[in-house]
């Protein structure tokens, strides 16, 4: 980072306000965005900002936006609209918008025309330029609009992470896959991987600072390393990180079945720290629909991978994303998805009714199934999955699980919440001082959304 620029931005900010300035940073959307938000906060902290959790108290409001769904975009426009009165009362308030949505030219154009009180707009590749944009605006320049995409990963951006047990660790940016329903490759650009040495260094720091669960982030972590000067792949990266000493867990998301290999499964099976839980989004159980989504795998191959993982790690758990009602999907094809779900028996599913995203190929495909019918399919799918979850949870009653407690629980006063290695939520009575500890828990009861148990030892 450019130190002089940070200092200049800090000086200009200090001169503008007669009190220590406060920023309100809000990230919409996925974990990648949450992680970006932590780095944006890191930059603001270097420029002298403290943080507040309301726009009313802030001297700078920064919305880190998400473009994945149209409804998410509408929410952002609503939130920006709500700032108008605050800016009228306090014209010195700075308003900045960034993230995926701002990478879309039509959105930037709308902000330019309809929201004249917004000061700074920049896309996903320009996070590190925030100090420069602030300087330009604070020195009395025009409103700043920047939409150049990222070409490489910028290292050394500081982060303000949530204190606690879990940390996000981005390993790459962008996506090369162009699934036909997804806007991400258009707004986040092509894949670029961080150097393994930098990732390892950051992982060591996080473990040293007491984080107990580190989640490696990328749109498709399985293709990590392509394009690096020295070829490196994701299983190698996991092996390298697994050698970091300490008491911690590693998770990763998101995987793409077309790039998920037996080598990766072998590494997970042999590792000390990588959780035996794989989020492997299949999206549909129909080969035809999967091809229409441009996903490049076949259901048979997917099932073989699952079988191989279960052979190597009988306790491995799986979760997936499912889209119901992709354009042109028939009832028979939907039934193939139901059959797949019954076969795999996922511990968790993230289910969505297809929602049209302008600018993607799927948005142009004929979509004859009425919304009401799709909702009915969706309800069926939830019912099937709920039944599977209940059975899987019931089967855990009586077992002892190693749980990492990370927060106060929801099932009663004095309860703690945590997760098993397989990513199942467990609640148990316990003192808050146990948050951040890995403890053996005897499972005594299954609920819809979590298991309840008793901590066996906490010394
Ligand atoms: S892999 Fe597909 S769904 Fe995931 S971000 Fe890339 S294009 Fe989107």
* Segment (H or E) for 112: helix 105-114
Q: Average pLDDT in the 39-45 region?
A: 95
pLDDT level of residue 428 (50, 70, 90 thresholds): very high
- Flag whether 66 is marked binding: yes
pLDDT at position 125 over 90: no
Query: Is the minimum distance from the CB of 184 to ligand 1 under 6 angstroms?
Result: yes
Rounded to the nearest angstrom, the distance between the alpha carbon of 142 and the centre of ligand 1 is 36
Rounded to the nearest angstrom, the distance between the alpha carbon of 267 and the centre of ligand 1 is 24
SS3 at position 410: coil
- The per-residue pLDDT for 147 is 82
> Is residue 420 in a domain?
yes
- The per-residue pLDDT for 284 is 98
> Is residue 69 in a domain?
yes
Query: pLDDT tens digits, residue range 358-379?
Result: 889 999 999 999 999 999 999 9
- Flag whether 275 is marked binding: no
- Flag whether 389 is marked binding: no
pLDDT at position 398 over 90: yes
- The per-residue pLDDT for 68 is 86
Higher-confidence residue of 166 and 162: namely: 166
Q: Average pLDDT in the 60-69 region?
A: 93
| Weakest-pLDDT range from 150-154, 168-172, 198-202 | 150-154
Rounded to the nearest angstrom, the distance between the alpha carbon of 159 and the centre of ligand 1 is 26
pLDDT level of residue 163 (50, 70, 90 thresholds): confident
- The per-residue pLDDT for 195 is 95
Q: Of the residues 104, 121, 146, which one is the last residue of a structural domain?
A: 146
In angstroms, rounded to a whole number, what is the distance separating the alpha carbons of residues 106 and 200?
39
CATH of the domain at 407: 2.40.50.140
Task: Enter the tokens of residue 375.
Answer: 């909702």
pLDDT level of residue 209 (50, 70, 90 thresholds): very high
Average per-residue pLDDT for the chain: 94
- Count up the domains in the chain and report the number: 2
Q: Average pLDDT in the 151-176 region?
A: 89
Task: Enter the tokens of residue 357.
Answer: 């995203």
Q: Average pLDDT in the 271-288 region?
A: 98
Most confident region among 118-127, 140-149, 437-446 by mean pLDDT: 437-446
* Segment (H or E) for 349: strand 348-353
79: closest CA among 96, 93, 63? 63
Q: Average pLDDT in the 84-91 region?
A: 94
pLDDT at position 458 over 80: no
> Is residue 98 in a domain?
yes
pLDDT at position 204 over 90: yes
pLDDT at position 430 over 90: yes
Q: Of the residues 146, 173, 202, which one is the last residue of a structural domain?
A: 146
The domain containing residue 444 runs over which residues?
Answer: 397-455
- The per-residue pLDDT for 320 is 98
pLDDT over 70 percentage in the chain? 99
> Is residue 187 in a domain?
no
192: closest CA among 138, 228, 142, 245? 228
pLDDT over 90 percentage in the chain? 85
Axis crossing angle, helix 262-270 with helix 234-242, rounded to the nearest 10: 10
> Is residue 248 in a domain?
no
Q: Average pLDDT in the 386-392 region?
A: 94
CATH of the domain at 58: 3.40.50.12160
Query: In Å, what is the CA distance from 330 to each residue of 26, 254, 377, 379?
Result: 39, 27, 11, 16
pLDDT at position 449 over 90: no
Q: Average pLDDT in the 341-356 region?
A: 96
> Is residue 286 in a domain?
no
- Checking phi first, is residue 311 left (phi over 0); if not, alpha (psi -120 to 50) or beta? alpha
Axis crossing angle, helix 262-270 with helix 299-312, rounded to the nearest 10: 20
- The per-residue pLDDT for 64 is 96
Query: Is the minimum distance from the CB of 219 to ligand 1 under 6 angstroms?
Result: yes
> Is residue 263 in a domain?
no
DSSP structure string for 414-444:
TEEEEE-TT--EEEEE--GGGTT-EEEEEEE
157: closest CA among 185, 127, 137? 127
- The per-residue pLDDT for 111 is 94
Long-range pairs, 138-145, Cβ under 8 A, ≥24: 138/9, 138/12, 138/13, 138/16, 138/94, 139/12, 143/112, 143/116, 143/118, 143/119, 144/119, 144/120, 145/108, 145/111, 145/112, 145/121
pLDDT at position 353 over 80: yes
Task: Enter the tokens of residue 138.
Answer: 């604070």
Task: Enter the tokens of residue 433.
Answer: 């001082």
Higher-confidence residue of 68 and 430: namely: 430
- The per-residue pLDDT for 231 is 87
180: closest CA among 313, 328, 53? 328
In angstroms, rounded to a whole number, what is the distance separating the alpha carbons of residues 383 and 405?
29
In angstroms, rounded to a whole number, what is the distance separating the alpha carbons of residues 291 and 329?
12
In angstroms, rounded to a whole number, what is the distance separating the alpha carbons of residues 1 and 435?
35
pLDDT at position 389 over 80: yes
CA atoms within 13 A on the CB side of 66: 19
Q: Of the residues 123, 146, 169, which one is the last residue of a structural domain?
A: 146
> Is residue 257 in a domain?
no
Q: Best of 177, 289, 293 to mutate for ligand 1, by most ligand atoms within 8 A of CB? A: 177
Q: Average pLDDT in the 165-176 region?
A: 94
């Amino acid at each position: 980072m450019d130190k002089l620029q940070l200092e200049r931005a800090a000086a200009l900010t200090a001169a503008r306000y007669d009190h220590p300035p406060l920023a309100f940073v809000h990230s919409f959307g996925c974990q990648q965005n949450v992680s970006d938000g932590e780095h944006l906060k890191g930059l603001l902290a270097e420029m002298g900002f403290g943080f507040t959790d309301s726009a009313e108290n802030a001297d700078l409001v920064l919305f880190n936006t998400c473009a994945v769904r149209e409804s998410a975009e509408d929410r952002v426009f609503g939130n920006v609209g709500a700032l108008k009165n605050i800016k009228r009362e306090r014209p010195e308030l700075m308003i900045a918008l960034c993230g995926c949505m701002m990478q879309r030219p039509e959105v930037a154009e709308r902000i330019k025309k309809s929201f004249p009180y917004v000061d700074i707009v920049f896309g996903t590749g320009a996070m590190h330029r925030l100090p420069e944009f602030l300087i330009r605006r604070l020195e009395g320049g025009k409103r700043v609009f920047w939409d150049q995409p990222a070409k490489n990963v910028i290292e050394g951006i500081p982060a303000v992470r949530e204190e606690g047990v879990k940390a996000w660790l981005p390993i790459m940016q962008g996506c090369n896959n162009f699934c036909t329903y997804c806007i991400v490759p258009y707004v986040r650009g092509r894949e670029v991987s961080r150097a393994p040495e930098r990732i390892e260094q950051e992982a060591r720091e996080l473990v040293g600072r007491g984080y107990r669960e580190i989640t490696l982030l990328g749109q498709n972590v399985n293709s990590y390393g392509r394009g690096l000067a020295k070829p490196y792949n994701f299983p190698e990266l996991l092996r390298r990180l697994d050698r970091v000493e300490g008491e911690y867990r590693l998770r990763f998301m998101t995987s793409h079945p077309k790039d998920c290999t037996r080598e990766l499964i072998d590494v997970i099976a042999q590792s000390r720290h990588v959780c035996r839980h794989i989020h492997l989004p299949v999206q549909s159980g129909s080969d035809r629909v999967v091809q229409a989504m441009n996903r490049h795998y076949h259901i048979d191959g997917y099932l073989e991978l699952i079988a191989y993982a279960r052979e190597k790690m009988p306790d491995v758990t799986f979760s997936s994303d499912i889209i119901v009602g992709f354009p042109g999907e028939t009832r028979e094809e939907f039934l193939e998805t139901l059959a797949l779900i019954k076969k795999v028996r996922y511990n968790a599913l993230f289910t969505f009714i297809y929602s049209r995203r302008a600018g993607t190929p799927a948005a142009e495909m004929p979509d004859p199934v009425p919304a009401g019918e799709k909702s009915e399919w969706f309800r069926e799918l939830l019912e099937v999955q709920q039944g599977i979850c209940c059975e899987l949870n019931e089967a855990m009653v009586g077992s002892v699980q190693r749980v990492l407690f990370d927060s106060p629980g929801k099932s009663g006063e004095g309860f703690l919440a945590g997760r098993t290695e397989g990513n199942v939520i467990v609640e148990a009575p316990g003192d808050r001082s146990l948050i951040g500890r890995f403890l053996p828990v005897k499972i005594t009861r299954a609920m819809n959304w979590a298991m309840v148990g008793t901590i066996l030892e906490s010394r």
